[in-house]
Amino acid sequence: MLYKKKLPMFLFLLPGLVLMVLFLYLPFGENIIDSLYELQFLVKIPGQELHFIGMANYQKLLADEHFRTALFNTIKLMAFTVIFQLGIALLLAIFVSSLKRGHNFFRTVYFFPIVISSTAIGLLFKLFYNFNGGMLNQLLEMLGHEPVNWLSPELAFTMISIPVIWSYVGFYFVIFLTGINEVPQELYDASKVDGCLGWQQVYYIILPLMKNVIGTCLVLAVTGALKVFDLPWAIAPKGAPQGKTHFLGTFLYEQTFTIGNVDYGSAIAFVIVLIGVLAAQTINRIFTRLSKEEDSL
């Protein structure tokens, strides 16, 4: 019958899978092995003997103050992303869904920063934050205030997080809005009869029905925050000032490509993936438990 022959199947699957094995799965395995050896060069030098150091890099991570800063910043960013990025997106989606018209307009406008490269957004915010004649300081000047050093050690983390969070609000907004619009109209009508209006509808109808969508978005947002690199690197490369704005991604890049600690960089990469998998698993577990509890009610 149709689709019984196996030969065409291989033909269809092979090219894509080979590409992914060669450039995704194998390198990932190789990367884990790298982290167990002493490596100072990106490229293997002929005749060079590799020195096995086991878990030394991972022990070094635990003691490294800069790594701790980067890890702490990344975790802080993950929390901010969940609270602000998803929070604002959900709020905006609820607001827009209450309008009869203009859904398309808001979708187009809010989604817009996502297609712009983070490099461009980073450079743009660099112009905003500049001490001499940056946009923000011009505003302050107009209002008769002293200029502020926006990228000072105290402010830098916040000022870098703002564009990171702002730029992806539209992504989750679009997903949430679609989810809300898919809630059947009868539910609203029925709830209205029961005297459930406004925010009560949000709490009793929208949020429970969107549980899966929210779960997916949480995973995306948390793993997204974990991968951040371009934007901080464009605004404040090398964790400037004083390594205070390092995230795991920028720290890894600096260690590997400007300092040459390739093995150490590989260990960081593995830790990033590990945190990502753990976070995603935890979120998934919480949300499956939530829906199970609901089923048993």
Partner 1 sequence: MAVNNRRKRLSPGGMVIRTILSLWAVTTIFPFLWVVNNSFKPSEEVINTSFALPKELTLSNYTNAFKKQNLLKAYKNSLIISGTVMIVCMLFGAMVAFGMTRYCFRGKAVIHSLLFAGLMFPVYATIIPVFRNMAGLGLLNHPISVILPQAAGNLSFAAVVLMGFLKGLPLTFEESAYLEGAGAVRIFTAIILPLLRPSIATVAVFSFLWSYNDLLTQLIMIRKHSSLPVSALLLDISSKYGTDFGLMASCVTLIIIPVLIIYFILQKYIIKGLTAGAVKG
Of residues 184-223, those binding partner 1 (CB under 8 A): 185, 188, 197-199, 201-202, 205-206, 213, 216-217, 220, 223
Q: Which is nearer to partner 1, 125 or 157 (CB)?
A: 125
Q: Report in angstroms how near the CB of residue 223 gets to partner 1 at its nearest.
A: 6
Total binding residues for partner 1 by CB under 8 A? 108
Of residues 55-94, those binding partner 1 (CB under 8 A): 88, 92, 94
Of residues 96-155, those binding partner 1 (CB under 8 A): 96-99, 106-113, 115-120, 123-124, 126-128, 130, 132-133, 135, 138
Q: Which is nearer to partner 1, 142 or 297 (CB)?
A: 142
Q: Report in angstroms how near the CB of residue 136 gets to partner 1 at its nearest.
A: 10
CA distance 242 to 236: 10
Of residues 228-247, those binding partner 1 (CB under 8 A): 229-230, 233-234, 237
Which of 236, 239, 244, 249 lies at the binding interface for partner 1 (CB under 8 A)? 249
CA distance 202 to 180: 10
CA distance 276 to 279: 5
CA distance 62 to 239: 19
Neighbours of 49 (CB within 10 A): 5
Q: Which is nearer to partner 1, 79 or 123 (CB)?
A: 123
Neighbours of 37 (CB within 10 A): 16
List, in sequence order, every residue forming a beta bridge with 37; answer none if it has no partner: 52
3-state secondary structure of 47: coil
CA distance 234 to 230: 6
Q: Which is nearer to partner 1, 110 or 150 (CB)?
A: 110
Which of 86, 252, 254, 283 lies at the binding interface for partner 1 (CB under 8 A)? 252
97 Cβ contact list (under 8 Å, min separation 6) = 103, 177, 180, 181
Q: Which is nearer to partner 1, 218 or 296 (CB)?
A: 218
CA distance 106 to 161: 23
Which of 180, 222, 236, 283 lies at the binding interface for partner 1 (CB under 8 A)? 180
Of residues 159-178, those binding partner 1 (CB under 8 A): 166, 169-171, 174-175, 178
Q: Report in angstroms how near the CB of residue 234 gets to partner 1 at its nearest.
A: 6
Q: Report in angstroms how near the CB of residue 22 gets to partner 1 at its nearest.
A: 7
Which of 159, 226, 236, 283 lies at the binding interface for partner 1 (CB under 8 A)? 226
84 Cβ contact list (under 8 Å, min separation 6) = 165
3-state secondary structure of 20: helix
CA distance 163 to 136: 14
List, in sequence order, every residue forming a beta bridge with 52; answer none if it has no partner: 37
Q: Which is nearer to partner 1, 272 or 296 (CB)?
A: 272
Exposed/middle/buried for residue 248 (C-beta within 10 Å: 0-12, 13-18, 19+):
buried
Which of 6, 45, 144, 194 lies at the binding interface for partner 1 (CB under 8 A)? 6
Q: Which is nearer to partner 1, 264 or 296 (CB)?
A: 264
Q: For partner 1, what does the binding mask look like between residues 7 and 46, x meaning CB under 8 A?
A: -xx-xxx-xxx-xx-xxxxxxx-xx--x-------xxx--
The candidate with the shortest Cα–Cα distance to 108, out of 157, 63, 170, 165, is 170
